[in-house]
């Protein structure tokens, strides 16, 4: 498979294009030569095969071929809202959640969250995580890039949700919760998962009032970055794929 690159701009079959700096650097690192094939996508559900026409010192020009619709999305739409784990664990989580097919990630600050972000720092982190998601799409072959939401507190996020007509709502819980394997795979899901210190009882009650069903992943306590990935793996492998 030719190397894949995410380009955040409209693309048109047949056009000549100068690659943005990030993609151009990657092409340089791969030492591709004029005539080499690459694949471009911009997140709208399609791919373009492109041919390198010119390699400058830092700029790379390509000629786009035809637009091909490519659907590698899960048959169910999953929004993952989670108490952000600290350090590079959030990067790893976004990378792997993207590979597993998540549609949207909502970073949350909960009562026991270690990582607290606001203002410019929060915006920079969001942009960084969006880049991690794009890179994971390049690697995994997805043509739609999951959206990373703005950092919100749990109460802010719960208040922003519209009435529960739109699919299932689950909160991953170590309290009295229904085992995941007894639940049918929903067509659309918003799933809340706690931070390193877990969700407080008051937070789980607030989620329950907003229509979230408590769901168990078993008797072992999983890390804040493991629990959502276990859920996604289960759903991704249980859901019928779009083929
Ligand atoms: N000591 C914390 C507690 O008791 O809540 C542990 C929190 S755990 C590291 C982080 C989050 O992962 C939890 O808030 C929960 O959402 C989820 N989680 C971890 N293990 C789980 C399990 N076995 N079933 C359901 N959710 C789980």
The closest-lying atom of ligand 1 relative to the alpha carbon of residue 221 is: 20
Average pLDDT along the chain, 243 residues, taken 10 residues at a time: 94 96 93 95 96 92 96 95 93 98 98 93 97 97 97 96 80 96 94 97 97 97 97 91 49
Q: Which of 198, 200, 218, 229 is the pocket-test mutation for ligand 1 (most atoms within 8 Å of CB)?
A: 198
Alpha-carbon radius of gyration of the chain: 20
For 13-123, list the strands marked E by DSSP.
16-18, 37-41, 46-55, 60-69, 77-83, 104-109
Domains of the chain and CATH, by start: 4-69 (2.40.240.20), 77-242 (3.40.1280.10)
The per-residue pLDDT for 243 is 38
**Ligand 1 centroid to residue 224 C-alpha, Å:** 7
Distances (CA, A) of 4 to 21, 50, 99: 15, 10, 15
Distance 75 CA to ligand 1 centre (A): 27
Q: How far is the CA of 55 from the centre of ligand 1 (A)?
A: 50
pLDDT for the residue numbered 211:
94
Between CA 196 and CA 204, with CA 198 as vertex, the angle to 5 degrees is 150
Atom of ligand 1 nearest to the CA of 220: 23
Residues lining ligand 1, judged by CB closer than 6 Å? Answer: 172-174, 193-194, 196-199, 216-218, 220-224, 227
Does the pTM surpass 0.85? The reply is: yes
Q: Tell me, what's the pLDDT at 197?
A: 96
Please, are residues 170 and 188 in contact by the beta-carbon 8 Å criterion?
no
Question: Which of 204, 207, 221 for a ligand 1 pocket mutation test, highest count of atoms within 8 Å of Cβ?
Answer: 221
- pLDDT of the residue at 241: 65
Residue burial 31-50, b: 16+ Cβ < 10 Å; e: rest: ebeeebebbbbbbeebbbbb
Q: Whose CA is nearest to atom 6 of ligand 1?
A: 198
Distance CA(152)–CA(133), nearest Å, equals 19
């Amino acid at each position: 498979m030719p190397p894949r690159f995410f380009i955040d701009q409209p693309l048109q079959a047949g056009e000549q294009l100068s690659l943005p700096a990030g993609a151009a650097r990657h092409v340089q690192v791969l030492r591709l030569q004029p005539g080499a094939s690459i694949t471009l996508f911009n997140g709208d559900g399609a791919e373009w095969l492109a041919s390198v026409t010119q390699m400058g010192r830092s700029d790379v020009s390509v000629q786009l071929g035809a637009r091909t619709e490519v659907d590698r999305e899960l048959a169910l739409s999953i929004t993952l809202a989670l108490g952000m784990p600290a350090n590079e664990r959030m990067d790893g989580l976004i990378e792997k959640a993207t590979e597993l097919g998540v549609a949207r990630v909502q970073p949350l600050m909960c009562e026991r969250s270690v990582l607290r972000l606001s203002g410019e720092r929060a915006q920079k982190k969001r942009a960084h995580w969006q880049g991690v998601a794009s890179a994971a799409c390049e690697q995994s072959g997805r043509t739609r890039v999951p959206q990373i939401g703005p950092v919100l507190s749990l109460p802010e996020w719960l208040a922003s949700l519209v009435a529960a007509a739109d699919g299932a709502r689950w909160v991953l819980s170590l309290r009295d919760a229904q085992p995941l394997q007894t639940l049918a795979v929903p067509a659309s899901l918003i799933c809340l998962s706690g931070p390193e210190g877990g969700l407080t009882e008051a937070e789980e009650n607030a989620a329950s009032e907003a229509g979230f069903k408590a769901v168990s992943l078993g008797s072992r306590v999983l890390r804040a970055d493991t629990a959502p990935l276990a859920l996604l793996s289960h759903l991704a492998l249980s859901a019928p794929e779009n083929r």
